[in-house]
Structure 1
Amino acid sequence: MTKECREIFQLIEEWSPKDLAYDWDNVGLQLGSPRKKVKKVMVTLDVLESVVDEAVDKGADLIIAHHPILFKPLSEIDMETPKGKAIKKLIQHDISVYAAHTNLDVASGGVNDLLCEALHIHPEEVLVETGKERLMKVAVYVPKAQLEDIRKAFHQAGAGHIGDYSHCSFQTDGEGTFKPLEGTNPYIGSENKLEVVHEVRVDTIVPEGKVKEVIHNVIEAHPYEEPAYDIYPLENPGKSIGIGRVGHFEREMSLRELSEKVKHAFGLEKLRVTGDLDAKVKKAAVLGGSGEKYIHAAKVKGADVYITGDMSFHMAQDAMEMGLSVIDPGHYIESVMKEAMKHYLDKGLNKENIDIFVSQVDTDPFQFI
């Protein structure tokens, strides 16, 4: 069985919508056709020529990457350059490429949450807010006997959260009327006869990105052939969305011990650290990729230590002078997204017999000697 590229893109965008990406970013389809049939998908951090060679050898039809291969506008495609060679091979072998970059960084459960999970940090807030989650209200009309089925359908899809409270809903009793027309198979009533049924309207609050899954669950759980439901946009502000995460460790530890834990979590031989290695740390800011310009945000959020990549000399000095310790494990730790994306696609396509595999090419340009 095959899927079209666009169907896989839609699945990815349910997790990391493209509108979460920064304006300067280039996410989504990079090369290829949305209608291309796909049997085999490779997940990678980067799309280098060596990665393309691996995709060709393993028969991939589609590459899902974190870092876009087309990031800045191209004025030419020189087939003698590394990027030009990679693009040529992708076209020759009809391999499409899709990138989920800063949208996957921002998304709930995305790169920054995955980094926190690896380090056993409980994320409590975003490091830099980029917006607010849009909220919707979903109202479903159902016979009272099936009310609990609908509530369960809501909450299994992630609806009904208000602040620190879950399973939030409200019900109103009333009467529903309908006439099953010819050819229907009504749960209640008979063809061509007007029915009046004691029904309940149950309302809940839903993040916009979860509405589709909520409605799917409702239709699956509802006894009627044609369930009645309403969807309303709300002005209530949702939770903050943004880049990076801030949270606490399970216990206080020294900066030296934390540095060792970071090395172990990401399989690193060495990393760079600023600050007193014997100082105690409890609260951390985490940002995958290049995060040096957010040192002030980390300090304002009360972090004892900032874990991010690509720190330059002078920015590290600035952090040190303001009393913020920094651990720089490198940009490559974002590769945590590879297994997570594979798991997500396996779950979403588990009935489609699509082969999802992770690239084994190490694209980290740095080594320690």
Structure 2
Amino acid sequence: MIIQDVINYLEELAPLNYAEDFDNVGLLVGDKTKPLTGVLVTLDTLEDVVEEAIENNCNLIVSFHPIIFKGLKSLTGKDYVERTVLKAIKNNIAIYAIHTALDNALLGVNHMISEKLGLTNKQILIPQKSTIKKLTTFVPNAEISKVRNALFAAGAGSIGNYSNCSFNIEGYGTFMGNDNANPTIGNKNETHTEAETQITVIFEKHKQNQILKALFNSHSYEEVAYDIVTLDNKNQEIGIGMIGELKKEMSESNFLDFVKTNMKTECIRHSAFLGKPIKKVAVLGGSGSFAINAAKAQKADAYITADLKYHDFFSANNQILLADIGHFESEQFTKNLLTAYLTKKITNFAVVLSKTNTNPVNYF
């Protein structure tokens, strides 16, 4: 097994296509073709984490946060970022960051928080836009099943709980090849009319390359006619944040005690109590002030996130209980999620859960 094999597994869980534009995800340091010796999973990559990887004979660090966020103009070891990168390079250790790709994954960061809180009826809080595409192509009637099944096998035609979804219209296509053409049907320099079926399927954008490859490999035409458009349809399986319901409603004070215990946080900063029970809860790991209005719009009783500023708490506007549990605290179980996932995928290599506490915030 090589490092790229682990990357392939990670991108099945959280395709990088869905990471936010501002982010820096993927393989940040190292050679993806190197044989794998072991994987260390961490929330942050620091010098101590690289040392931990060395001690555990792991030449790949899978990190939630990227150690390189902005461009590096030098590598002199003047700060913790440069020192960490230099140490990884010196010891032939690769670093892969997954960050907002996992934030936007259905079974990612916010799913983990929801599980810790025992939420039911979970849904994405803010579905990511422009993640669904539609392919239309034209196929000779004799090849309909072959091409359509190839598209389905490549991942096209899935809508929620349904698969193998397509729409088909019969008609006639015309074409004429020139002297350089090599037509599989008809003759050069003669207009040919062929009974064809128009096939339309939708797919998630990260599957586009594999779906086009399946189309070209299964279609007999030298030049395959097709078009792809991006849809505005909501995709309830890709997006940031999550909203669900507690198994039993709680008072506001009991709810915050419950969150404090289950999320293992030292303290919770919160907006004013409203004197109403908590049942419907929205969550978003990391900095989540931008989603306050989305939580209110979906009638959440409480919204759990981190990094709220002074004026953000006014946004509660007597409509919702806002709870800032801390950035590290909201994301701390992410490395457990990744370790469990990779352990199931990789049975013959060590997947090590980092023991290094990377939280830069201390409480007095």
TM-score normalised by the shorter chain: which range applies? 0.7 to 0.9
What is the rounded CA distance, in whole Å, between the counterparts of 2:79 and 2:342 in structure 1? 33
From 248, 253, 258, the equivalent of 1:256 is 253
Distance 1:249 1:67, change over 3 A: same
- Is 1:312 the counterpart of 2:299? The answer is no
What is the rounded CA distance, in whole Å, between the counterparts of 2:19 and 2:127 in structure 1? 13
What are the Cα deviations for residues 102-127 of structure 1, in whole angstroms up to 9, with x where unaligned?
Answer: 11100121111221122122322323
Matched-pair contact (CA < 8 Å) for 2:118–2:247: yes
Provide the residue aligned with 1:223 in structure 2.
Answer: none
- Is 1:363 the counterpart of 2:358? The answer is yes
Normalised to the residue count of structure 2, the TM-score between the two structures is 0.74
- Is 1:42 the counterpart of 2:40? The answer is yes
State the identity %: 33
Matched-pair contact (CA < 8 Å) for 2:131–2:231: no
Query: Which is further off, 65-74 or 276-285?
Result: 276-285
Provide the residue aligned with 1:53 in structure 2.
Answer: 51
Cα displacement (A) at 1:323: 2.7
Residue correspondence of structure 1 range 1-369 to structure 2 within 5 A? 2-3=1-2, 5-121=3-119, 122-127=121-126, 129-134=128-133, 162-163=159-160, 165-166=161-162, 207=204, 239-240=234-235, 241-276=238-273, 278-316=275-313, 318-332=314-328, 333-350=330-347, 353-369=348-364
Please list every run of 5 or more consecutive structure 1 residues that lacks an aligned counterpart in the other structure.
Answer: 143-149, 173-202, 215-226
What is the rounded CA distance, in whole Å, between the counterparts of 2:207 and 2:341 in structure 1? 15
Provide the residue aligned with 1:197 in structure 2.
Answer: none
Cα displacement (A) at 1:276: 0.8
Cα displacement (A) at 1:364: 1.3
What is the rounded CA distance, in whole Å, between the counterparts of 1:315 and 1:96 in structure 2? 38
SS of 2:294 mapped into structure 1: helix
Q: CA RMSD in A?
A: 3.8
Cα displacement (A) at 1:269: 3.2
Normalised to the residue count of structure 1, the TM-score between the two structures is 0.73
Query: Which is further off, 86-95 or 232-241?
Result: 232-241
Cα displacement (A) at 1:294: 2.4
What is the rounded CA distance, in whole Å, between the counterparts of 2:13 and 2:252 in structure 1? 34
What is the rounded CA distance, in whole Å, between the counterparts of 1:250 and 1:100 in structure 2? 31
What is the rounded CA distance, in whole Å, between the counterparts of 1:104 and 1:234 in structure 2? 25
Matched-pair contact (CA < 8 Å) for 2:133–2:202: no
Matched-pair contact (CA < 8 Å) for 1:136–1:208: no
Provide the residue aligned with 1:190 in structure 2.
Answer: none
The one-letter code sitting in structure 2 at the alignment partner of 1:16 is A
What are the Cα deviations for residues 291-344 of structure 1, in whole angstroms up to 9, with x where unaligned?
Answer: 11322222222222111011111212x223353211111111212221211122
What is the rounded CA distance, in whole Å, between the counterparts of 2:208 and 2:292 in structure 1? 36
Cα displacement (A) at 1:257: 1.7
